[in-house]
Amino acid sequence: QQQVKQSPQSLIVQKGGISIINCAYENTAFDYFPWYQQFPGKGPALLIAIRPDVSEKKEGRFTISFNKSAKQFSLHIMDSQPGDSATYFCAGTFSGSARQLTFGSGTQLTVLP
């Protein structure tokens, strides 16, 4: 059972454009939603995260938008750069969860120079 659905599977954006990746979750107990970034040959690394009591969180060019009623959240990358080319995973988890993170299926982002 996939509790976090992610789209699109792949995304190609021109340099300077906006990259948008969407996720939807099913488990209403989730209270922490991180995004992980993975470069080829590397393990995933935490990029940015949000809690459901806020609707938006911004860190530099990266913004998470969160819609609790729709059970959806998205990652926006402004002014996308070739160095942002990577695979992005959204995830959900909840306090007290020994199982920790439930990941989406991933989005392979390519930013063209």
- Is 24 a residue that touches other proteins (CB under 8 A)? no
3-class DSSP assignment, residue 37: strand
- DSSP summary character for residue 28: T
Kindly indicate which of the ranges 11-19, 30-38, 60-68, 72-80 contains the residues binding other proteins, using the contact rule CB under 8 A. Answer: 30-38
- Is 22 a residue that touches other proteins (CB under 8 A)? no
- Rama region for 81: left / alpha / beta (φ>0; ψ in -120 to 50; rest): beta
Number of residues that bind other proteins (CB under 8 A): 27
Extended strands (E) in the chain: 4-7, 10-14, 19-25, 33-38, 45-50, 56-59, 62-67, 72-77, 86-92, 102-103, 107-112
CB of 15 to other proteins, least distance (A): 26
Site for other proteins, residues 33 to 92, rule: CB under 8 A: 34, 41-46, 49, 51, 89
Find the binder of other proteins among 60, 69, 70, 100 (CB under 8 A). Answer: 100
Place of tokens 């959900």: 92
Binding site for other proteins (CB under 8 A): 6, 9, 31-32, 34, 41-46, 49, 51, 89, 93, 95-106
